[in-house]
Amino acid sequence: MNRAELANDPLEQFRRWFAEAEAAVPAAEKMALATASADGSPSVRMVLMKQADEDGIVFFSHYPSRKGRELAENPRAALLFYWEPLGRQVRIEGPVVRVPEAESDAYFGSRPLGARLSAVASPQSRPVESREWLERRVAELAEQGEPARPEWWGGYRLAPDAWEFWQHGADRLHDRFRYRREGEGWAIERLGP
């Protein structure tokens, strides 16, 4: 991989690689999300990218979950896409904000009924009595009909201020390019593997 092959805009480069990943990797939208508490204690988990555009990368969750609490305390995060069959990874870092309620409403309404029921039933990241308790909660909610989006569930948008594109190379001589926000544009630099 060389600089001449890269798009000048990291979102365009991401879209190119993501299209190739979708053709080769099941659930290419899986990404690791790393957050940290106010005291710097890190945590990471897998989430799904639901949108990637000029405003950033969007994912959804419970606001009172561990990730939600950490983002409230420390509103910066890092994302990692890893597409092993292609020997590629993309790292993205930046500040995170909640998406507007209308956007969260629209996405919640588009989810399958079972996923909506599970989102409402689960006290995400908090201890629960048992699997049976969760299943009873879902069944009880299903009897009440279509659930509305709860106020404590919604989307987050990470606005990238840095992107890194990594391509596997023989003998661990990988190619790494970082896009770093510089004014209104992007500075692109090769990194050592």
Q: Active-site residue numbers?
A: 172
Helix (H, G, I), strand (E, B) or coil at 143: helix
In sign, the C-alpha dihedral spanning 13, 56, 165, 80 is negative
With contact defined as beta carbons under 8 Å apart, do 177 and 165 qualify? yes
C-alpha 153/C-alpha 61 separation (Å) is 6
10 Å CB burial of residue 187 (0-12, 13-18, 19+) is exposed
Q: What length is written for the chain?
A: 193
Q: At what angle do helices 131-143 and 113-121 cross, to 10 degrees?
A: 120
